[in-house]
């Protein structure tokens, strides 16, 4: 696949490296061309340039890997170029006190979709710290990491599921983009438990055999 990455931070680095390692063609775009070139060099074999160039290069998928506070502005400026593109939102709108920072009544993914109505937005990859995505693969106790994926386009979801599997993870059907807010709220809860309480948040969910009513 040809994947464009918007952003030059840690998530762009972690996911970009893994997808390049899996054989995908990666292009890094940033407002700072120097930082984009540095990240492309770390990824190895990746192209680099501005944000618009990353969208143009991401003919199969575009990863939006910028902070939530900048996401709508970035996407709005690329609205025309993003039409028809698969746009992956991995942002977390988590503010002080580990609460959701969204105030529009929409999820962060919904705000991004409204700013680029022609794009096929998919929510994914937001529940884990970037260091988890650097693991090859993210397997814990013999169980691959599961990644919730939410979106409205069947074709876009198929692309993102493949990218999830290329990390050694298992995609989970989280429903349409209207359920992205549930994924984002889960992130706020988990981050608060992990960081705020030092808790083993994984322990809050029982095994599947015990998660359903006994017949």
pLDDT at 111: 97
pLDDT at 53: 98
Query: What residues have CB less than 8 Å from 12, skipping those under 6 apart?
Result: 5, 6, 28, 39, 63, 65
Residue 215 has pLDDT above 90, yes or no: no
The model carries a pTM of 0.95
In a domain, 49, yes or no: yes
Residue 69 in any domain: the answer is yes
- Judge whether 180 lies within some domain: yes
Look at the chain and report how many structural domains it folds into: 1
Residue 96 structural domain: 2-202
pLDDT digits (tens, 9 = 90+) for 97-141: 898 999 888 999 999 999 999 999 999 999 999 999 999 999 999
- Give domain status of residue 32, yes or no: yes
208 within some domain = no
Q: What percent of the chain has pLDDT over 90?
A: 90
- Label residue 212 by pLDDT band (50, 70, 90): confident
Q: How much is the pLDDT for 63? A: 98
Which pLDDT value is given to residue 129? 94
Residues 30-63: pLDDT tens digits? 999 999 999 999 999 999 999 999 999 999 999 9
214 in any annotated domain: no
The CATH number of the domain holding residue 105 is: 3.40.50.720
Q: Please check whether residue 207 lies inside any domain of the structure.
A: no
- pLDDT (tens digit, 9 = 90+) per residue, 69-97? 999 999 999 999 999 999 999 999 998 98
Domain presence at residue 213: no
Average pLDDT, the chain: 95
């Amino acid at each position: 696949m040809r994947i464009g990455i918007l952003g030059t931070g840690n998530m762009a680095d972690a996911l970009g490296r893994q997808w390049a390692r899996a054989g995908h063609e990666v292009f890094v775009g940033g407002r700072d061309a120097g930082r984009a070139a540095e990240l492309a060099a770390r990824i190895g074999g990746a192209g680099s340039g501005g944000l618009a160039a990353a969208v143009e290069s991401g003919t199969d998928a575009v990863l939006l890997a910028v902070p939530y506070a900048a996401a709508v502005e970035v996407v709005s400026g690329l609205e025309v170029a993003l039409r028809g593109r698969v746009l992956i939102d991995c942002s977390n709108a988590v503010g002080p006190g580990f609460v959701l920072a969204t105030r529009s009544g929409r999820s962060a993914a919904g705000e991004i979709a409204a700013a680029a109505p022609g794009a096929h937005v998919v929510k994914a990859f937001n529940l884990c710290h970037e260091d988890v995505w650097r693991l090859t693969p993210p397997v814990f106790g013999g169980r691959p990491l599961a990644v919730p994926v939410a979106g409205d386009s069947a074709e876009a979801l198929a692309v993102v599921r493949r990218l999830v599997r290329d990390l050694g993870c298992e995609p989970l059907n989280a429903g349409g983009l209207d359920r992205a807010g549930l994924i984002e709220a889960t992130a706020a809860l988990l981050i608060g438990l992990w960081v705020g309480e030092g808790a083993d948040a994984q322990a809050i969910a029982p095994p599947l055999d015990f998660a359903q009513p006994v017949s």
